Structure formats: structure tokens, C-alpha cells
Amino acid sequence: MEPFLDPQTPLYNHSLPQIEQWLIAHGCHQDSEDLHLWRLEQPKWKAELWLDTEELTVVYLSLDLSQRNIQRTFKYSLSRRDIEDAVFSGP
């Protein structure tokens, strides 16, 4: 297991194994067929996280059929802490 870099370090400076460990540490599960897709379930919300080439895309899935999904993108140039605070706090 690789140690994490400082939380203020941009995400693009982290290796893929470090990013994967970070996602696992936050309760995410990697899709077995679509390896750049990760899923997260919290008591009040669910999300899909997509590790794209230049950004992390998060789709918060509506638990209420009357509401729409919310999509947000985060450039890898943001710090791990900033992305963590934004993504894991929910929609």
C-alpha cells in the first residue's frame, strides 16, 4: 500500500493505486467490468464516480424518482482535500 501524499497535493500528482486506495478508504467499490467506474452508497445518497482522463465526474443518483440526478466534475488539478470535501459531503 502506497502512502498518501499531502492532502493539499493536486490529485494529478497521485498515482492510480493511491487514488484507488483513497476511493476504497471512503467506501467506494470499483465496477468489475467498467474499471474507471466506482460506486458509493451512503444512507441518504448514492453516487457513481468516473475516473476520466482529465477530471473526476461524480453523478449523485436521485433516491426520489421525482428528482433528477446531479452531475459534478472536478479537475485533477484540485487538491485531494478539496475534491474529498466536495465529493464525499454529498449532493
The answer to whether residue 23 sits within a structural domain is yes
pLDDT for 12: 92
Residue 7 — very low, low, confident or very high, per pLDDT cuts 50/70/90?
Answer: confident
Is 18 inside a domain boundary? yes
The confidence score (pLDDT) of residue 62 equals 79
Higher pLDDT, residue 64 or 57? 57
pLDDT tens for 8-38 read: 999 999 999 999 999 999 999 999 999 999 9
- Annotate 66-83 with b (16+ C-beta within 10 A) or e (fewer): eeeeeeeebebebbbeeb
Indicate whether 1 belongs to any domain: no
In a domain, 41, yes or no: yes
Residue 66 to residue 61: CA distance in whole angstroms = 12
Q: How many domains does the chain have?
A: 1
Full domain range(s) for residue 26: 11-87
- For residue 3, tell me if it sits in a domain: no
